[in-house]
Chains A and B, each alone.
Chain A
Amino acid sequence: MSSVTQLVQQLIEIGQSKQINSIEAYASQVQELEVEVSDAQVENLQKAAETGVGVRVLHNARLGFAYTTDLSSEGLTKLVQEALENSSIVPTDQYYSLAQPQPYEELELLDRESWDTVSIEEKIALAKGIETAAKAYDRRVSKVRMARFSEQMYQVALANSYGLTASYAGTGYSASVLAIAQEGENTETGWGFNFSHRLAELNPEQVGVEAGQRSVAMLGARTVSSQKADIILDPAIGAEFLGVIAPALTGDAIQKGKSLFFDKLGQTVASSIVNISDDGRKLAGAAAAPVDDEGVPTGETPLIVNGVLQGFLHNIYTARKAGVAPTGNGLRSSFRGRPESSPSNFYLLPGNKPAAEIIAGVQRGLYVTSVMGMHTANPISGDFSLGASGLWVENGEFAYPVRGVAIAGNIVDFLKSMVEIGSDLKFLGSYGSPTIRVAGISISG
């Protein structure tokens, strides 16, 4: 921890020596290992270490930002100067402020023991286990791609000239794979993915089995004719949808009028069974941290409660502009970016019904296991149209796999048409979703 905490202190001192009243420094150090195996051989092994810093200065109500990986004392001095110069061309803005020091509660994010004691050979064996499990699932799993184990340890430190200091460290372990199933001329693919802050909670074999299952289930897929039908979203696909909704619930998007939720606070925006929250302290999510990247303590922020829009995600700037308290959502993409109002662990709260019961209740619909083009959904108009594949459901049972269809609609209608939410909340990275049933969606074949 010492090197990142020393770096931020050094930067604050440089700022003070230049008579800058308000300065904030953020430093992160990341160590990474990634092992990718193919045919039981290590295909790629990557090891990395990187430390970088970002500085914000608030000078005459103008905010400037710059970053660097040049940690020499000349590099750091140049960085503060650059941030100051960048502040000179932006307009003044009374809403900018740095965080006041506040107490925060630590989070158990660090699995130091696994990091220190598990050997590289054991980690390679974990990666091989993913591939073996995928291949062993079914003889039709003919190839496996990107069987990967990766681990990361990060140390973050933050300080500002108001006396704030914060620091934390964490680990992240993940396993992922793409299984390819073949039968005759037909080729289908299936993904598996798992993340945990603790190595013991990672289940690499399960990731292989899931990918195998998904790929084999799609063999013999065909298209269906254009129609309106219910769709049931697998939790992984639900999480992808939440990934489109989340940016529209940020203070920045609302204040710039770039959100489909603009002007909708207090209104019904989803069916009454829908509850969406953001929680930076949820350990199941990859974005867990005790403080956000400005130093504001994290916590649960209810956004949609029983279908009614209750609030937005704020950093200090958007909160001041809106006249509310910051929600601990001032997050940086890395030391290279400024803290923007952004989702941390963003999730749809689970309902009571097991997923199997939801599917059993569907007369005719598409159980969606894969979508393409989610990033093309329009966050302002809410329109989306996606390539989709999955399993056709008839009279409560899976009838046959479906591929090459498009599902289309609007996020607003989509949220209002959610008729059932499963009890099986699952996080995929920092987005969490249970199984969701949505009524009457356009399917084009």
Chain B
Amino acid sequence: MDWTEATLRNILTKALENGGDFADVFIENRQTLRLVREGERLDKVNSGTDRGAGVRVVANGSTAYAYTNDLTETGLLEVAQVVAKAVEDGSSTAVEALTKRDNQVEINPVIDPRQVELTQKADLLAKADQVARAVDSRVAQVTVFYRESVQDVLIANSRGYWAEDSRTRLALGLMVVAKDGEIMQTAYESLGGATGFELLTEESVVEMARKAASAAVRMLTAQPAPAGRMPVVMAAEAGGTMVHEACGHGLEADLVQKGVSVYAGKIGQQVAAKGVTVIDDATLPNHYGSYRFDDEGEPAQKKVLIEDGILKGYMYDLITAAKDGVTPTGNGRRESYHHRPIPRMSNTFIAPGPDRTEEIIADTDTGLYVTKMGGGEVNTATGDFVFEVAQGFLIRDGQVTEPVRGATLTGNGPETLKLIDRIGSDLGFTIGTCGKSGQGAPVCDAQPTIRITELVVGGIAAGEAGEEA
């Protein structure tokens, strides 16, 4: 981006003209393309350009933020003036000389998706559609989504940080509806990363299409899920929704500091079963939640949050790190220039353990085997979470048996983490967009195959009416 040090310092100086501890500016230029194929034709093509900038001043623990899409020096100086007006502490903070930061993270997109012809992308979606439909005559509908985004950002702050990042992200997803008489079932698969178009090889797309279609067809014979408490085995391929909801959000420092996390004040304590290690790593090469710098210009890092069941630390942005007197962890992220940064996850996972998947299942008498998780939600203050089981099977006598539909898992984060008694040696990732405070962030979650000794399964085959407990 074409901004000189002098201009950036002018903007920061203006923002701090009425005092304040700290100021930063975030400038963004993003090009997005979305394609949707539905009803055996290209249904939607949507492209756009988002340009804008936000200026922030932090003074005595309060934050003023303003943004504009007038990307001239005058436009940014006006925004800096708006935030300066919200500050009244009279202190004077000098803006330090800006030095560009070096990148240490391996994110190397090869093929710029903007250079790939629209028709080539449309053909890839058509291929996925045809492959899915060819799997079984009961495949009734196929929707294929494609999204590319190239986001160039510049972040500069009054402490002399200056970071620039170009983030290319791609995602391709498939929703398959299978139909047999009155019964309809859906299955979803997706693939994405902080990579270029090389990610979407024909082989990988074909494999994903087959997988989604087979899963939807298999679920047609699913029985209503049983309700009640039972052991749950989650396959690695099920993805990391559980770790994301059950513990990730509660380890974000803003929620911890506001006392609305069940993990507040528990550093050094046992918060999960022995053997459970939880990591957030924004530096994993080319993963969907990876970045070189966060949206405050901090270098991406790998953080061990829980080690062998002991809580080690939280995920911080600049403000929360200053409050706790710790080093920022590079988790200050924002959806766009519309938002101020807040602590967010990147790629979050439970580290693999010693057990073999087959043995975990064989050692389980009865229970639910989850091979695909859907969406979820958590109340961080109580730790209660819920998430849907997109594909599940019953385990009987150590064997995976028939598929079940309509199940959700309800539990409590810290309680559930303590009930993990088996950890597999595999690791499976899923991509997603995590929502918090109205901001979406691209993330990746993962876990090995794990067993939880008891979770509440909310199924649709509830027992008979009984007396209350």
Residues of A within 8 A of B (CB): 38, 41-52, 54, 64-71, 75, 79, 82, 85-91, 143, 145, 178, 180, 187-189, 222-229, 256-258, 336-338, 372-373, 375-376, 378, 380-381, 383, 385-387, 392, 403-410, 442-445
What separation, in Å, do the CA atoms of A350 and B312 have in the docked complex? Answer: 53
Complex interface residues of chain B between 253 and 303 (CB less than 8 A to chain A): 258-260, 262
Contact call B38/A256, Cβ cutoff below 8 A: yes
Contact call B46/A227, Cβ cutoff below 8 A: no
For residue A222, which residues in chain B have a CB less than 8 angstroms away from its CB? 469
Chain B proximity of A362: nearest CB distance (Å): 14
Sampled A-B contacts (27; CB under 8 Å): A44-B62, A46-B65, A46-B66, A50-B338, A51-B69, A52-B69, A64-B45, A66-B47, A68-B48, A69-B49, A86-B45, A86-B47, A88-B118, A187-B381, A225-B466, A378-B186, A380-B184, A381-B185, A387-B458, A404-B384, A404-B456, A405-B456, A406-B386, A406-B456, A408-B227, A442-B462, A444-B458
Q: 6 smallest A-B Cβ distances: which pairs? A: A406-B458, A442-B462, A387-B386, A444-B227, A376-B388, A385-B408
Chain A proximity of B469: nearest CB distance (Å): 4
What separation, in Å, do the CA atoms of A246 and B456 have in the docked complex? Answer: 29
Q: Does B2 touch A at the CB level, under 8 Å? A: no
For residue A407, which residues in chain B have a CB less than 8 angstroms away from its CB? 458
Name the contact of B375 in the complex, choosing from A228, A375, A387, A405 (C-beta under 8 A).
A375
Contact call A385/B61, Cβ cutoff below 8 A: no
Contact call B42/A443, Cβ cutoff below 8 A: no
For residue A229, which residues in chain B have a CB less than 8 angstroms away from its CB? 465
| Known A86-B45, A385-B407; contact A410-B460, beta-carbon cutoff 8 A | yes
What separation, in Å, do the CA atoms of A285 and B459 have in the docked complex? Answer: 34
Contact call B62/A385, Cβ cutoff below 8 A: no
Q: Does B203 touch A at the CB level, under 8 Å? A: no
| Known A48-B338, A376-B374; contact A69-B42, beta-carbon cutoff 8 A | no
| Known A226-B228, A372-B386, A442-B462; contact A69-B66, beta-carbon cutoff 8 A | no
Q: Across the A-B interface, how many residue pairs have beta carbons closer than 8 Å?
A: 234
Chain A proximity of B301: nearest CB distance (Å): 25
Contact call A372/B384, Cβ cutoff below 8 A: yes
Contact call B258/A38, Cβ cutoff below 8 A: yes
**Secondary structure call for the A interface:** strand
What separation, in Å, do the CA atoms of A224 and B83 have in the docked complex? Answer: 51
Name the contact of A225 in the complex, choosing from B42, B61, B461, B467 (C-beta under 8 A).
B467
Contact call A408/B45, Cβ cutoff below 8 A: no
Contact call A43/B384, Cβ cutoff below 8 A: no
Name the contact of B140 in the complex, choosing from A46, A48, A257, A443 (C-beta under 8 A).
A257
Contact call A406/B408, Cβ cutoff below 8 A: yes
Contact call A408/B62, Cβ cutoff below 8 A: no
For residue B467, which residues in chain A have a CB less than 8 angstroms away from its CB? 225
Contact call B141/A257, Cβ cutoff below 8 A: yes
Q: Does B353 touch A at the CB level, under 8 Å? A: no
For residue B381, which residues in chain A have a CB less than 8 angstroms away from its CB? 180, 187, 189
Name the contact of B62 in the complex, choosing from A42, A48, A75, A87 (C-beta under 8 A).
A42
For residue A406, which residues in chain B have a CB less than 8 angstroms away from its CB? 227, 386, 408, 410, 456-458
For residue B62, which residues in chain A have a CB less than 8 angstroms away from its CB? 41-45
Chain B proximity of A25: nearest CB distance (Å): 14
| Known A50-B67, A69-B49; contact A258-B462, beta-carbon cutoff 8 A | no
User: B78-122 CB contact bits vs A (8 Å, 1 = yes)?
Assistant: 000011001000000000000000000000000000000011001
For residue B83, which residues in chain A have a CB less than 8 angstroms away from its CB? 47
Contact call A373/B141, Cβ cutoff below 8 A: no
Chain B residue at minimal CB-CB distance from A335:
B48
For residue B407, which residues in chain A have a CB less than 8 angstroms away from its CB? 385
Chain A residue at minimal CB-CB distance from B227:
A444
Name the contact of A443 in the complex, choosing from B51, B378, B462 (C-beta under 8 A).
B462
For residue B379, which residues in chain A have a CB less than 8 angstroms away from its CB? 189, 372
Contact call A75/B49, Cβ cutoff below 8 A: yes
Name the contact of A383 in the complex, choosing from B39, B46, B69, B405 (C-beta under 8 A).
B405
What separation, in Å, do the CA atoms of A317 and B119 have in the docked complex? Answer: 25
| Known A89-B119, A376-B388; contact A258-B141, beta-carbon cutoff 8 A | yes
